[in-house]
Chains A and B, each alone.
Chain A
């Protein structure tokens, strides 16, 4: 008998591998830097009914390769099916499903917050606690830059919202493997 295969295969012992992981996934997709690639990826998601939570696109150290980082909900979508469909796109070179333990993930957000004289000190204090930066101050607003995990950005949002959130912009998460990965 060859190594690696069981002696007997009983039908009742066969199972289908689980489909839904139930958690958020970050997919790091290396694509050829060619026109229309983003449209192919985005189009695939819309026609297969996959919802993207966030999407970030940018160059890599290799000018012929771009990286698309996207997050989606593994409780709703079978990630395996998503990655297999992505792999069918000829311009897609490599896909990594970034495991949360082996990954550093960051997002940046800009918050424009109403700031009258009486709450200005409190907002500055929040910014310090979150290690955020105040990047613009006007007579009635302050603009604050926050970098961190999506959770941290959402926590900061909860803190400043009662003060009057005028506008918020988020980049979507980008991620890189820890260590040598």
Chain B
């Protein structure tokens, strides 16, 4: 069988239903084999878009996302998506064409050392040197991408090798990699110590991240939190793992998290971190982070434990496996829940005095506040859409105001902060979950960076809805220049180009515009009800800032709120 056909067979054997990509010279054999493949290939318009689509697909469904690109520029265009998938632990497999074996190292046409270029941000990578390796490497790549801490795996296949004829036997035995044995169970002794520490904590807080979602551990987290009255905060990546509508949920933490969540971290005596990594956007100034707290750190990746913040009780394991054991051990201790009364009184006091705030005076009609836009989105989608976003103010407002109640409903670029992520990842999410409403909340600075994928939406019939939060600025950069750089605005005004409605129509999508808060929800519903892809250009207040905020390099207690807010 031709090696390129064994590639398709192996992907099929891995359960692949959809892939994304663009053909080119060096992956012609692969694309020839694709004609007969039994899965869907979504032809994107730029390899970066294909990469992010694979990420959105994986995050929405939990299945491995796959993207193809040709050699050289096709492959290098994938680099941002690969780095993004590494930072956010997204299970993805990237398959690139490479120049013919005898051309490797000669600076051949469209040659790029993609394996070398991506070494810093792949979980692992394979350079095929013998066509018989192709099926084996595909299975190893899927195993690596989807187990342990998930991440991107690259498979680079020289053109001549994908054309070669090889014997093909479908693989039956499971993948064995001698240097790869993720620990998933969690050390039971450590779990017992953790349960006892929890039983003695008077100001505990759960700080949960994307690892809970990757582990499909939301129900298990809920069980544990419900075994007493534990307060929960979440990272940007973890939103939805614990329902935002629960009264145990304090909101997101970190730079643009809630006042209460950040103060709770600052005053806590015990932090239970599950599937998060004490990123600088969470900790702020590291040596003033959570000064009173002991730390239980539960993570599948041992290297995350004590990397940034020392763990007093480290537990290496998968959230889905560790959390039920911790729940069992904690319940067995039959702790008196009243010890948490004072803590909850404090937390409720903070919540009352420091809620999320914006000036709502124009919400009934007139200027659209960006925060109002997200509230309207929640109502228009009954709070149950898959929402993707680009990167910037609109991303933070969506995280603050949408209120995600379920996992895999919030897809964004958290670690790398990739502008232009929203539209292609929405395509991926919609392909993975065709029956769900998928909305991309875009920023006008970000959306244009991958706007070419609107053509993918139209020609591949992927009806995503783009709700553009248009303030005519690179808003977050403008905010920083206003607050920290003496209002010396530098290259942040986007001007009036493009005309987004005409642009959408030029691609064959529906374009809509809204500039009055009174009409917004109705317009959103109309956009959602339209059969095809829609771009709704929402003109929002231009110079609204995103609050509250921990200024960069500061500690949680230095958090500032909107200057317009008056403490009640």
Contacts and interface: CB of A to CB of B under 8 A. Distances in A.
A11 B197 contact: yes
Interface in A87-111: 87-93
Contacts of A178: none
Interface residues of B, number: 35
A96 B140 CA distance: 26
Contacts of A19: 306, 310
B2 to A, nearest CB: 25
A91 B179 contact: yes
A32 to B, nearest CB: 6
B302 A93 contact: no
A167 to B, nearest CB: 32
Contact of A11 (B127, B269, B301, B306): B269
B546 to A, nearest CB: 31
Interface stretch (A33-41, A53-61, A129-137): A33-41
Contacts of A81: 303, 306-307
Contact of A9 (B124, B144, B197, B302): B197
Given A11-B201, A16-B312, A81-B307, A90 B302 contact: no
A40 B269 contact: no
A4 interface: yes
Interface string B123-150: 1100101000000000000001000000
A43 interface: yes
B202 to A, nearest CB: 9
A31 B301 CA distance: 20
A139 interface: no
Contacts of B196: 5-6, 8-9
Nearest to B269: A11
A2 interface: yes
Nearest to A94: B179
Interface of B: 115-116, 119-120, 123-124, 127, 129, 144, 177-180, 189, 192-193, 196-197, 199-201, 269-270, 294-295, 301-303, 305-307, 310-313
Interface of A: 2, 4-6, 8-11, 14-17, 19, 31-32, 35-36, 39-40, 43, 47, 78, 80-81, 84-85, 87-93
21 contacts: A2-B189, A4-B189, A5-B196, A6-B193, A8-B200, A9-B193, A11-B197, A11-B200, A11-B269, A14-B312, A16-B295, A16-B311, A17-B306, A35-B129, A36-B115, A39-B116, A43-B120, A90-B179, A91-B179, A93-B178, A93-B179
